[in-house]
């Protein structure tokens, strides 16, 4: 009997009808659209013994913070896979290790599997996730090497092109990234990862208006509340905030980004997206003497506690710290630091050396101890990549460092950081900071010119925003 195949030509030990439902579920998962669970549950109904459908559905629930259901499905897949092909058995073992909380076992399994079966896209996606959040200092180089090496196996594949573009823009290969992502969008317009990669290209090019225009149009074609809808609106909020449109950015937060607004989104992103956007607003507001407070800080802290009760997921921990610091929750921060020490005692390689110093620096910043915040972030600046996330996501820590340097009166150190940032591309916010630095150094005419240039960038900004008002006063 000839077995049906998945979308990449790999055999599936199931019926034709169940295979069709499985292909639909995987397609929806990889394009970040709605209906992943419906399609995979239909595959299981059509063939209750279909191991891969159980494993893939378990992964879906894991991403949404339902670890118990994910583990149940992973165990079912493990019990069902004995009669499947060796490739499917390895596939189930890899997804099962992740879903059952044994992710440390997955990397060796994945490397072996991809050497034998490079076109197993869901497993390559697992490799990406493990490298993205735990790949160490050289994770970006490793990511580009991996996708470069696998490109011949995938050819003109819309999904692979989207992620190959991502790997390129993280290494500042922006022209190549744009070529790849434009081809991906030609092949599959409704492709959440391609839109995501294109947003990053605009961000890295400092084309904030172009990015906002692209996403604003593209999101009208994407199903609301699809799996990646929240994160893409977070990117749109960053573009709007960088363009001085704070009220529009916070409207997106309230509608889509805040905890509870997006039932389809993953818990990890729910903590990080909300916290990093509100922390940026807090950085910007406090320049003008505003409080920077927001009612959703507690909801973010609560989501982190419920979905990730044990510290050790670095990307969650640093964003949980933003919420706790903004709330002034010293007890919560103390518990987080104790948990990080426990994680270090269990063998977590960066919990004590990187994550804890970032947590302490964020706490110091919120308390107004800018010298301690600057020192803490500076000490681990070259290691921040190990926290996870993209260049655009980690930029919030560099912004915090710049602000801490400025507010601590560390003018030479602030000038060095701002020069690096402005050399990459001028933004209104960094020009405003440069003007503040020039003012501190007594270069008043030069500062006025910087303020006026920043105001030009923000010509269409929100006039009621505290930072905008402070800028116009400085430029007057």
**Ramachandran category for residue 207: left, alpha or beta (phi over 0 → left; psi -120 to 50 → alpha):** beta
Q: Give me the pLDDT at residue 351, please.
A: 95
Average pLDDT over residues 365-371: 96
pLDDT surpassing 70 at residue 89:
yes
pLDDT tens sequence across 106-141:
777 888 899 999 999 999 998 998 888 877 899 999
Q: Percentage helix, strand, coil, to 5, in the chain?
A: 75, 0, 25
pLDDT tens sequence across 271-316:
999 999 999 998 876 544 444 456 789 999 999 999 899 999 999 9
CB 329 within 8 A of CB 300: no
CA angle (194, 199, 201) in 5-degree steps: 95
pLDDT surpassing 50 at residue 225:
yes
pLDDT tens sequence across 335-352:
999 999 999 999 999 999
Q: Give me the pLDDT at residue 343, please.
A: 95
- Domains in the chain (CATH in brackets) are 16-134 (1.25.40.10), 237-475 (1.25.40)
Q: Give me the pLDDT at residue 434, please.
A: 97
pLDDT tens sequence across 31-46:
888 889 999 999 999 9
pLDDT surpassing 70 at residue 226:
yes
Query: Nearest to residue 243, comparing CAs of 235, 253, 232?
Result: 235
pLDDT surpassing 50 at residue 326:
yes
pLDDT surpassing 90 at residue 67:
no
pLDDT surpassing 90 at residue 155:
yes
Average pLDDT over residues 138-153: 95
Query: Nearest to residue 60, comparing CAs of 48, 73, 49, 51?
Result: 73
- 288 compared with 213, residue with greater pLDDT: 213
Work out the mean pLDDT of the chain and round it to a whole number.
91
Residue 41 is encoded by which pair of tokens? 């549950």
């Amino acid at each position: 009997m000839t077995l049906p195949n998945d979308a990449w030509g790999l055999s599936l030990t199931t019926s034709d009808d169940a295979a069709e439902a499985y292909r639909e579920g995987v397609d929806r998962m990889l394009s970040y659209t709605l209906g992943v669970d419906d399609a995979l549950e239909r595959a299981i109904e059509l063939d209750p013994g279909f191991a891969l459908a159980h494993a893939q559905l378990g992964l879906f629930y894991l991403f949404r913070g339902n670890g118990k259901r994910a583990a149940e499905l992973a165990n079912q897949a493990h019990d069902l896979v004995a009669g499947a092909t060796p490739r499917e058995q390895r596939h189930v073992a890899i997804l099962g290790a992740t879903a059952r909380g044994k992710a440390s076992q997955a990397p060796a399994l994945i490397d072996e599997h991809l050497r034998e079966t490079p076109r197993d896209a869901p497993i390559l996606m697992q490799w990406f996730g493990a490298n993205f959040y735990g790949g160490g200092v050289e994770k970006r180089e490793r990511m580009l090497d991996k996708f470069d090496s696998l490109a011949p196996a995938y050819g003109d594949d819309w999904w692979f092109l989207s992620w190959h573009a991502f790997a390129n823009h993280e290494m500042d290969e922006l022209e190549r990234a744009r070529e790849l992502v434009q081809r991906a969008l030609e092949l599959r317009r409704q492709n959440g990862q391609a839109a995501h990669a294109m947003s990053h290209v605009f961000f890295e090019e400092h084309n904030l208006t172009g990015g906002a225009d692209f996403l604003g149009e593209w999101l009208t074609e994407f199903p609301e509340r699809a799996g990646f809808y929240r994160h893409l609106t977070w990117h749109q909020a960053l573009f709007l905030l960088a363009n001085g449109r704070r009220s529009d950015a916070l409207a997106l937060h309230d509608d889509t980004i805040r905890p509870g607004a997006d039932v389809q989104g993953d818990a990890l992103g729910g903590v990080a997206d909300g916290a990093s956007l509100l922390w940026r607003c807090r950085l910007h507001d406090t320049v003008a003497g505003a409080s920077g407070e927001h009612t959703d800080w507690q909801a973010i802290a609560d989501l982190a506690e419920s979905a990730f009760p044990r510290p050790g997921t670095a990307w969650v921990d640093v964003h949980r710290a933003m919420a706790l610091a903004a709330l002034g929750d010293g007890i919560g921060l103390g518990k987080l630091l104790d948990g990080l020490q426990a994680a270090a005692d269990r063998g977590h390689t960066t919990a004590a050396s990187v994550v804890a110093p970032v947590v302490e620096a964020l706490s110091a910043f919120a308390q107004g101890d800018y010298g301690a915040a600057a020192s803490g972030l500076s000490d681990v600046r070259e290691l921040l990549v190990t926290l996870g996330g993209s260049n655009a996501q980690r930029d919030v820590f560099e912004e915090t460092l710049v602000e801490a340097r400025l507010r601590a009166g560390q003018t030479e150190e602030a000038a060095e950081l701002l020069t690096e940032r402005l050399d990459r591309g001028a933004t209104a916010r960094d020009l405003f900071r440069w003007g503040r630095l020039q003012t501190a150094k007594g270069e008043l005419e030069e500062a006025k010119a910087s303020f006026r240039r920043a105001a030009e960038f923000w010509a269409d900004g929100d006039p009621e925003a505290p930072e905008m008002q402070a800028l116009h006063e400085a430029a007057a």
